[in-house]
Chain A
Amino acid sequence: MSSKTTDRLATLYFWASGIVIILILAWFMIRILGEGIPHLSWHFIFGKPEEIKAGGGVGPQLFNSFYVLILSLVISIPIGVCAGIYLSIYAQKNWFTDLVRISVEALSSVPSIVFGLFGFLLFANLLGLKFSILGGAATVALLNLPVMVRVTEEAIRTVPESYWEASLALGSTQWQAIRKVLLPAALPNLITGITLIAGRALGESAILIYTAGLSVSRFFPDFNPLKMGETLSVHLWYVGAEALVPDAKAIAQGSAALLLIVVLIFNMLVAIPSRILQKRLSGGK
């Protein structure tokens, strides 16, 4: 075979592999949405679940998913942003900075089930939170934290050095320059990062089984963060693997479609607001 023929065959092969990757994803989407969407109804999305009978909804689980997500962001954003600011502005080349960098890297590689056990040990056991939404959210915050630090550091690094120097030259303190100049300029990238983190946290389940628990409050909506709170992805695992209800398969398929739709929405949200903000801040059309 001449080298030209081989080259053509190789090109063909690479195109095929690219197309296969897209086909796998398309097939996933069609499969999940196609089988799940028929189960989605007002009653399913907002109704209460059933233990034994068919026809239960996932309302409380959906609510808990967002509740855990928001609490976890409330915990992880301030710490993550501050640590990111430290790394991008104050950090000098010394052992402490190295230590922080290695910690961020190590933290982002911890398997989520290990976070789950740690959360069970620290929040549920030692701090006496039992299985609770707060304990689950605090543990998910640990998962979000390293990503938040990285996102912040990168977002601030992309702000031109001249902004920082100009602000200081005008007599602002470092804190004023961070708050009034750097953070607003880094905001579009920060929001993109937070949206990505949110999508990941919404799908997280291994962490939450032994920190937020497997059952939901009898009241809905229940804002008490000390109650147990099963989230939608945990519920999907539970009905997929162990549940007793006769319509478990339908609930699993419906929940999967619902989760996927939420994740899709988040993925689109990443694109839209950051683009609008960028346009507004840069003054372009």
Chain B
Amino acid sequence: MRWVFVGSAALVSAIIFSIIVFVGMQGLKTFQGVSPLEFFFSTDWTPGQQKFGAFPFLYSTLMLTLVAVVLSVPLALSGAMFMAKIAPKWMREILRPATDLFVGIPSVVYGLIGLTVIVPALGKLTGGIGYGILPAAIILAIMILPTILSISEDAIRSLPVRLEEASLALGATRWQTMWRVLLPAARPGILTAIILGMGRAIGETMAVFMVIGNSPQMPKSLLDSTTVLTTAIVKDMGNTSYGSTWNNALYMMALLLLIISLVLILVIRIVAKRSEVK
């Protein structure tokens, strides 16, 4: 029986390796049809004329993730601090299932809210169409909020009590203790939380697809229709035939997403190691 268990464990490793190999091989074939220089730095994505510049997708992915994290972190960290140190028990018993439920809501449902509420509201507010990075970032900020909140809360909660007691004994108020002592001390855990949130934001597809507008161009502002890596794949996959440069380019984007998420995992490991040493 032992070998069944070892075999299953080995299978899990085999799966992640075959994902890297399969997607990688297919993706790298892109460069038979287009130079890496053009793929990464050209802003011209016109597959009809064999122009495969993926720079706008990379740029928008980066922008979207940054804006979403910037929108989400302040509220998530305040929520985490509130849950860990201030909220009475009854309040925690409302907030915890509430944040769990946030995670459980399917991403298409978030997308629908974005499409039917946030996009029209932004359109009315600015007089534009309302699609673009900003509505996507608002939706993503809400989606990654529970991830950042619950991991940061654990980090704050697991700090030794003596830190807090020492600070209070020195005459610091609760706010001073939280701001000057607890928050800095929980930094590695909070960093991990933010990176995990980023990973989720980068990989999110459907909700973003519904509100970002989907034009393959550099966005001129946060409210200009654009495309990110994930939505480019969804949008074009159905139009391409297997083995074409266009199709391979989509696999290349998937490979980029895969590499980004693996790098984020590595960063988390390094953060964890470094905080252990201290």
Q: Which residues of A contact B (CB under 8 A)?
A: 3-4, 6-7, 9-11, 13-15, 17-18, 20-22, 24-25, 28, 31-32, 78-80, 82-83, 85-87, 89-91, 96, 99-100, 103-107, 109-118, 120-122, 125, 142, 145-146, 149, 174-175, 178, 196, 199-200, 202-206, 209-210, 233-234, 236-237, 240-241, 249, 252-253, 256, 259-260, 263-264, 266-267
Contacts and interface: CB of A to CB of B under 8 A. Distances in A.
B86 interface: yes
Contacts of A264: 101, 104
A62 to B, nearest CB: 14
Interface string B66-99: 0000000001001101110011000100110111
Contacts of B30: none
Interface residues of B, number: 81
B82 A15 contact: yes
Interface in B6-20: 6-13, 15-19
B258 A112 contact: no
B107 to A, nearest CB: 7
Interface centre among B87, B111, B204, B206 (most CB of A within 10 A): B206
Interface centre among B2, B13, B112, B203 (most CB of A within 10 A): B112
A22 B75 CA distance: 12
Contacts of A100: 9-10, 12-13
A259 B108 contact: yes
B6 A86 contact: yes
Interface in B236-264: 237-238, 242, 250-251, 254, 257-258, 261-262, 264
A264 to B, nearest CB: 8
A248 to B, nearest CB: 11
B106 interface: yes
Contacts of A86: 5-6, 8-9
13 contacts: A7-B175, A14-B86, A79-B8, A106-B265, A107-B12, A109-B199, A109-B261, A111-B258, A113-B233, A117-B23, A118-B254, A149-B12, A249-B116
B35 interface: no
Interface in B44-77: 75
Contacts of A112: 203, 205
Contacts of B7: 82
A233 B210 CA distance: 13
A19 to B, nearest CB: 9
Closest 9 CB pairs of A and B: A203-B106, A111-B203, A82-B8, A10-B175, A17-B78, A7-B173, A86-B5, A206-B205, A103-B13
B176 A3 contact: yes
B242 A259 contact: no
Contacts of B112: 32, 236, 240, 252-253, 256
B4 interface: yes
Contacts of B237: 117, 120, 209-210
A91 B8 CA distance: 12
Given A86-B9, A107-B16, A241-B210, A6 B175 contact: yes
A219 B262 CA distance: 42
B270 interface: no
Contacts of A125: 242
A12 B186 CA distance: 22
